[in-house]
A and B are shown apart, each in its own frame.
Chain A
Amino acid sequence: MRIELHDIYKHFGPVRANDGISLTLEPGQIHGLLGENGAGKTTLMKILSGYQAKDRGEILVDGRVVKFRSPAEAIAAGIGMLHQDPLDFPPMTALDNFLLGFDRRLRPDRRAGRQQLLELAARFRFPLEPEAAVERMTVGERQQLEIIRLLALGVQTIILDEPTTGISAPQKVQLFQTLRQLASEEGKSIVFVSHKLEEVEDLCQAVTVLRLGQVTGERLMPVPLDELVQLMFGQSLALPGKPAVPPGDVLLEARDLTVESPRLTITHAALSVRAGEVIGIAGMEGSGQDLFLRALAGLLRPKAGEVWLAGRPLTGRSYREFMQAGISLLPADRIDEGLVRGLTISEHMALHRKTPFFIRWEENRAYTAEQIRFFNVKGQPDSPVDALSGGNQQRVLLALQPAGLKVLILEHPTRGLDMESTRWVWEQLLKRRERGTAILFTSADLDEIMTYSDRVIVFFNGQPFPPLPVTELTVEDLGYMIGGKQPATSKPQPAAALPEA
């Protein structure tokens, strides 16, 4: 199946998400779609898969013009998309999800469906259990389920949008094997949307680079990485170094924390963080990092143990009191937790500044405009935050944080951001660190953890390894610990209460 996109336009108000993009997808090929955030990759693929309507342009499948008004029509034509966040039905079982949209009869044939699910899973060696609840499956397993569901629907072209976010390293290896198998043995076309250069290099035979809604280059792989970076950003960028900051007094202390959630319990976690220190937190998604950080931020009430800030106990205080004491949390879900969808940048500023009861809107808009310039946000004071790209949402979030913060807790601060925004975010964080703010962050990017942390904690299955100075660690060590094994070079154990030196 050969797909041609001709001159696709899609504008959201003043934002030109797709500005005349043309692209050809050959059968049996893995085609990389590369670009920084807001380059228009996802929009283009949503148009191709029927989720979004284009403003202008043509889609040709095997030379025939097609028009998709819904994802169902695209799937019927053989085009299916795997979204960045799985669009499945968590409370239902794997089999239910598999049958959805596939067996439309009033009473689906569960036995045949089960048979087919197991056959497909076996073909790609996916360890899927038909009766498992989807909400208990990992992101990687949900992705595997979605892939075989699309295959069962007879899809010839599979689009994967940033599929390696949130899945484990072995799952990634397996995913890549599967994609190669589908392309070479079954002649499927694969579109691999990513901003991760190494992955595109590793997997793709052809690559199209987008920048600001336009195609900046089409190449057959292999291509030197420098050239791709040039196409993506216009220039090569280096990550900023980390200046040495002498650690200050102990600021934040967790003593013997026990945090419970329906899925996981952390017991007896301990940590003490000094002013100006950066603590990186690694681990498979859902190993307890989020629970630990949210307990430190006051958003979750620990079952037992204490949280102290600057020599004062905060245990049992409300989340607002944690905030007033100088602890701030930047959630990973920027648009649904960090910001309020539908409110403008200016309204967010008014919420976060200590504005008087009667808001002076003109003054606030002027202040917002100033902050927008200073933080280099692509948007207007009256832009709703949901119209901004991920990187710009993160800039707004950072602009909203008060200056004298004691502790800044960030979940995946640069997830989904392009290099330019990533670099900028860390510049801002390091500046705050020089002024004595302690920074705790989670990341799935081990290079990021190694580059910016002073000490690193790895979570495995709800238990933290004791914090280790980054100077005593290698990426390989981290990899071992994330997998629950003790590294070859040093000897820490996932242990109960281990305060650091």
Chain B
Amino acid sequence: MAELEKKHMLKDRDMQLIMGNLLRTGVVLSMTVVFIGGLIYLMGYGKQVANYSEFVMDESGFFSLASIWTGMLEMNGKAIIQLGILLLIFTPISRVILAVFSFLLERDYLYVLIGLMILGIILFSLSNKLAG
């Protein structure tokens, strides 16, 4: 019994280490992309006048994978920043995916289910039926 518990703790420990590294890598990678995009953005748009005094619902900008991709090919700074932000948003989501696999290995099916529920909720949000 004690042996089994020790094994269980060891697996939890592994998951914690991998999860920590995953989160760190995600943050460093995404922030590097945002920084590079920011430099390109400032070189292109720096002299224009900033105007954010009123929010306009705008779904034509770099808010979808396809538009970010075409913007990237044109080396558009805004598109590169948005790519970095997407990478950042996917960092905690990939952490949930990792946890689901790890709970699967532990045969903790209750938490596999909980992890899948969270992913389902986020996928539903990703489906773009909610933006209004």
Do these two chains really belong together in a complex? no
